[in-house]
Structure 1
Amino acid sequence: MLGKMPSHYACGVFTFLSVCLISLLLTPPCDGGKILVVPVDGSHWINMKILIEELHARGHSITVIRASTSWYITEKSPLYTSITIPLFPPLESFFDEERASALTFFKLTKEFLTMISEAHVLSSKMVTQIFDDENMVKKLLDAQYDVVLTDPAIATGVVLAKYLKLPMVLNVRWVTSGEGHFVIAPSPLSYIPVPGSGLTDKMSIIQRVKNIFFHSIIIFQQKVMVGPSYDAICDKYIEGGCDIISLLQEADIWLFRTDFVFDFPRPTMPNVIYIGGFQCKPAQALPTDLEDFVQSAGEHGVIIMTLGTLVNALPSDIADEIASVFAKMPQKVIWRHIGKRPSTVGNNTLLVNWMPQKDLLGHPQTKVFVAHGGTNGVQEAIYHGVPVLGIPLFFDQYDNLLRLQERGASKIIELADVNGKSFEQGLKEVLHQASYRQNMQRLSRLHKDQPIPPMEHAIFWLEYVMRHKGAPHLRTEAYRMPWYSYYCLDVLLVLLTAVTVLLLSTLAMFRFLCCRRKREKIKSKQH
């Protein structure tokens, strides 16, 4: 048939077939698996969606369980099919300008913990609804999933994986109460700072006391605020009962969203895979209008500012002072600000509801990143080598920024200290002291200098679990041990008992010998 074609057409067909053949030969074989994803909403979904996009591109079939009240997890997507669980009431957005009129760290922390507590209650209701729906359970069992991929900050997926008896991979930094390492790896409090403590890995004795105090708060939170909700579900639906900590420890692989360029060195485990910065990519071109604004900054460059997805707006007085500082700067400013427009906004400042943060951080004109210290933003700043002026709001944000500050790549202004003067001084320091940029660019080089990109690492281990139906050989059996065995208190008791028996026996022997000798002396005197 090809002989009847014009030569140029036949040549085109052969070229097309050759390209197809080469593509098939170069593409690694991929047996698409079936993955059940149980995500956490908000900024955590951003991370999970990036993993889902990569898994979908590699031919895997993905099902996402979502609540009907979800903020960001859409019901329809080309990447996945969804199972929607009716759930009311929805969680509120964290706070806005009106609610934050008396903005303090403790107020925000209290509101944040309240929101987290509500999220665990809703999670428990969601799990109960699934388990009480026979059709839903049958649908999940009949689907024959290969693995459950879940974020354990909320334990819905952890309980579900146990109930369905499926291998589990965690996309994790935070678990139901605190940082994940404290659940799975040895964590000496002498040099491993507890989240929220604001400490580094170099602690004085007073700081170690503070560290233990914060650790006791986390234990209290798990035992009193979080655990009971899930324990009731475990007792009712899981054969033999369970608790959330033991379920977390049963996970096959922990995909940990950190690395030791960012974090302090610490003990770890074989099934912990570090994927810090896996979401980072080279910057893409900006939209034309935004690119024009950035280029108009000339040699002075651009400052970008955002306080994350949970914060709509700062109180108007603080926002006005920040805006007035920006107005005096020669740089152009792009500020993600939702709410009332500050009265002191200058002509050099562009207020936006959303910004392409990754692409702006990767733009050569960007000089400083003013941020709240969320994990995603911090890792993207490291990847692109942009120094950070940090305004931490709650939870882990101060600790994240502290890790950068310890490495000379960030300056922190605590929330209670934010005013026009402190903000201007901090901004000028990060802008004009070359050490901040140099130190951040050094971290960027270290982060990028690894044999396998973090995303490739994550996908390999997820597929590894699917291929081998789990990874129990990488999982420590320590979680099956009672606490007194883990800390060898039973061994200590045995040794103390043995020593005590030996000492008592020796004393008894001496006493017997002394008494016998005394009796012999008495008898000799009598004779």
Structure 2
Amino acid sequence: MKFFLVTVTSLFLQPYQSAVAGKVLLLPLPFVDSHWFAQLNLGRALVKRGHVVTALVSHDSLSERQTPEFSFETFEDQGTRAKLKTIEGRMFSNSEELSLVGMVQGKLALADELMKHCDLLLGDSALIQRLRDSRYSVMITETFFPCGAILAAYLRVPNVVHIRVDSFTIDFSATGVPQPPAYVPWLWLPFTDQMTFLQRAQNAILSTLVSRVLQGIVSSKFDGLASRYLGVDEALLSVMSRADLWLYRFDHVLDFPAPSMPNMIHVGGLNVRQVIALAEDLEAFVQSSGEDGVVVVSFGSMVKRMTMERAEVMAAAFAQLRQKVVWRFTGVKPTGLGSNTKLMAWLPQNDLLAHPKTRAFISHAGYNGLSEALHHGVPMVCMPFFGDQPTNAARVVARGLGVKLEFTTVTTDELYKTIKHVISNNSYRETAARLSRLHRDQPQSPMERAVWWVEHVIKHGGLPHLRARAVELPWYQYYLLDVAAFLLAVCSAVLGTAWCSCLFVCRMCCRKSSDKVKQQ
């Protein structure tokens, strides 16, 4: 009887499983490794669910990104990816703050090379034919590389956008979601949802003007590709607005509340994976810290160099700590490095942050590390550089998860005292533990939620009913200017009629009064 029930259940579930399982096309950003790592985790989770995942990359990046879980499609990029990596190195690889003007100039150069990279991809007719013949069920893209939206529309495949923050800020226009500047801080400003008057003014002006500039930059580059491959009436914004699903790496615990649409799913902490044991030598080093514990230091995969002056400042501060220090560092070994500090070119960040002996995390406030620290309840010392990092650091401070320092001006003594304060002050540890419990207390993990929604798109062939129609409306309809004009006209007509009626009555009364006087 048990065998019979198992067999019948398997036969009953088999059609459903085959209907849900699909072919997934993943188009990662050609550069910025942290973006690739996030998409890699999502793709691996889909593979575990029985889906077939294919990543589309340039031929010269295949050796760096090849993984046995995925299939790969490649194309010749004629050196555009190498140029993108060069621009990335010029903008981000040095541990220096990026000015607003420098950011706009960098985005202009990136958009130009991304457009060329995309044109080579879409222009590879043999590749496009292979992709069409494969009949993919869904495509996973990101807004930093707008080519994904154009390719998804070209292949007529549902588009799922995987995003933390849009470098060109076109996602707000594409989703149609309002962002009230009174309480929603722009993701490029280090503000909270409780802003002063000057901050609100700055938030309103920059979120409007700079967003228009960045959207204009990317649209000027990709509108031509959209019209060439999809039709003369198509533009990048209209193509991106047809995305079926937006997987936002936002967290309700850390990020501030803001308006959202039904197809915008929050999956903050998506990158946090299952903890595995440390290597023997690293575990021995961590255990040697005793009751004092360990401080983990990492400034991410993008920052590959820092000046010797800054490295010496940090090394001297770490040398004074009673704790052991594990530092992800690839430069020349600082002369003031203490015996308590272990340098590593790469470190298992998630596993170290999960270790019970970890006392603090010193970071640039990149989202991957920040979400891991939040998940494992580790206080932070943030020293942000560029992008969304200052905003992330502001959220850390606002939630009481840690403190913020200026990387370019911090002194050895200031850094040492700040780390010591964060470790010795129980409020940071208690707040981190409380926020960790709050973050974990959800019916699905972020990865389970993301996978469920991707499978929901696959099962139903798209989710157009969840898309807001805001983008399709002319600007005068979106802002209800036609309605305002109609109401103004009606009110004017009513008031005008009332005024004319009053004048008429007054004149009639005056005329009767005048006639009566004449008769007397």
After TM superposition, is the score higher than 0.5?
Answer: yes
Residue 44 of structure 2 is matched in structure 1 by 53
Residue 266 of structure 2 is matched in structure 1 by 274
Residue 92 of structure 1 is matched in structure 2 by 85
Which of 359, 368, 378 is residue 376 of structure 1 equivalent to? 368
How far apart are 1:118 and its partner, in Å?
Answer: 2.9
Residue 167 of structure 1 is matched in structure 2 by 158
**Does residue 336 of structure 2 align to residue 336 of structure 1?**
no
- 2:48 is aligned with what amino acid? A
C-alpha RMSD of matched pairs (Å)? 2.8
2:291 alignment partner, SS class: helix
**Does residue 66 of structure 2 align to residue 66 of structure 1?**
no
How far apart are 1:236 and its partner, in Å?
Answer: 2.1
**Does residue 22 of structure 2 align to residue 30 of structure 1?**
no
Residue 39 of structure 1 is matched in structure 2 by 28
Residue 138 of structure 1 is matched in structure 2 by 129
Relative contact order: is structure 1 or structure 2 higher (C-alpha 8 Å, sep ≥ 6)?
Answer: 2
Aligned residues, how many?
507
Residue 211 of structure 1 is matched in structure 2 by 203
CA separation in 2, counterparts of 1:416 and 1:509? 73
- 2:240 is aligned with what amino acid? L
Q: What aligned pairs does 1:51-450 form with structure 2 within 5 A after superposition?
A: 51-70=42-61, 74-75=65-66, 77-89=68-80, 90=82, 91-92=84-85, 94-95=88-89, 100=94, 104-107=96-99, 111-178=102-169, 180=171, 183-184=174-175, 185-450=177-442
Cα pair 1:163 1:238 within 8 Å, conserved: yes
Cα pair 1:75 1:82 within 8 Å, conserved: no
- Would you identify which runs of 4 or more consecutive aligned residues in structure 1 move more than 6 Å? 20-28, 96-99
2:498 alignment partner, SS class: helix
2:118 alignment partner, SS class: helix
How far apart are 1:69 and its partner, in Å?
Answer: 4.8
Change (3 A) 1:407 1:75: closer
Cα pair 1:68 1:87 within 8 Å, conserved: no
CA separation in 1, counterparts of 2:372 and 2:173? 25
- 2:241 is aligned with what amino acid? Q
CA separation in 2, counterparts of 1:114 and 1:339? 28
- 2:17 is aligned with what amino acid? C
CA separation in 2, counterparts of 1:96 and 1:324? 28
CA separation in 2, counterparts of 1:492 and 1:429? 57
1:350 alignment partner, SS class: strand
CA separation in 2, counterparts of 1:25 and 1:392? 54
**Mind listing any 5+ residue stretches in structure 1 that lack a counterpart?**
1-16
How far apart are 1:510 and its partner, in Å?
Answer: 2.4
1:386 alignment partner, SS class: coil
CA separation in 1, counterparts of 2:92 and 2:398? 34
CA separation in 2, counterparts of 1:97 and 1:465? 37
Residue 11 of structure 1 is matched in structure 2 by none
- 1:437 is aligned with what amino acid? R
How far apart are 1:241 and its partner, in Å?
Answer: 2.6
Change (3 A) 1:99 1:445: closer
Which of 465, 476, 480 is residue 468 of structure 2 equivalent to? 476
1:303 alignment partner, SS class: strand
CA separation in 2, counterparts of 1:287 and 1:336? 16
Q: Deviations over 1:492-526 (max 9, x none)?
A: 11111111111122222223333444455556666
* TM-score, length of structure 1 as denominator length: 0.89
Change (3 A) 1:26 1:105: farther
Cα pair 1:375 1:400 within 8 Å, conserved: yes
How far apart are 1:401 and its partner, in Å?
Answer: 1.5
Cα pair 2:241 2:471 within 8 Å, conserved: yes
Cα pair 1:275 1:454 within 8 Å, conserved: yes
Cα pair 1:304 1:335 within 8 Å, conserved: yes
How far apart are 1:43 and its partner, in Å?
Answer: 0.7
**Mind listing any 5+ residue stretches in structure 2 that lack a counterpart?**
none
CA separation in 2, counterparts of 1:213 and 1:118? 24
* TM-score, length of structure 2 as denominator length: 0.90
How far apart are 1:188 and its partner, in Å?
Answer: 1.2
Cα pair 2:185 2:192 within 8 Å, conserved: yes
